[in-house]
Amino acid sequence: NAGVTQTPKFQVLKTGQSMTLQCAQDMNHNSMYWYRQDPGMGLRLIYYSASEGTTDKGEVPNGYNVSRLNKREFSLRLESAAPSQTSVYFCATRSVVNTEAFFGQGTRLTVV
C-alpha cells in the first residue's frame, strides 16, 4: 500500500513554463486536496475535490487548474509558472468528512 503518492518530488521551472503535479491514492478515498506550504503562511488550500467528478476552489486558486481524472488521481496544473508559485505542494486525501486526512510526501517546486 503506497497511500498517497506525489510526482515529481522536486522540480525547477522557468517563468512561463507549464507543468502538472500528479497525485494518486490507493486508499479508495472520496475527497482529495491540493495545498501549498509557505513559511509563515502555513498550509493554504488551492483546490479540492469532494468526490470523483467534482472540484472546488480553495483559498488560493489563481494560477492553477485541477483535474479529478478518476477516484484515484487528482492533478494540479500550472499553465504559466510564476516565481510566486515557488512553494512546497502537498496532496491529501480523506474518506469522508470528520476523518483523518492522509498526506503525500510533497513536491518542492522552484520557479526561476
Partner 1 sequence: AQRVTQPEKLLSVFKGAPVELKCNYSYSGSPELFWYVQYSRQRLQLLLRHISRESIKGFTADLNKGETSFHLKKPFAQEEDSAMYYCALEETSGSRLTFGEGTQLTVNP
Contact between 88 and partner 1 by CB under 8 A: the answer reads: no
Nearer to partner 1 by Cβ, of 14 and 42: the residue is 42
Out of 9, 59, 80, 83, the residue judged to bind partner 1 by CB under 8 A: 59
Q: Annotate 3-25 with three-state secondary structure.
A: CEEEECCEEEECCCCCEEEEEEE
Question: And the C-alpha cell for 22?
Answer: 500528479
Q: Which of 100, 104, 97 is nearest to 24 (CA)?
A: 104
Give the footprint of partner 1 on this chain (CB under 8 A): 30-31, 33, 35, 40-45, 48, 50, 56, 58-59, 90, 92, 94, 96-98, 100-101, 103-106
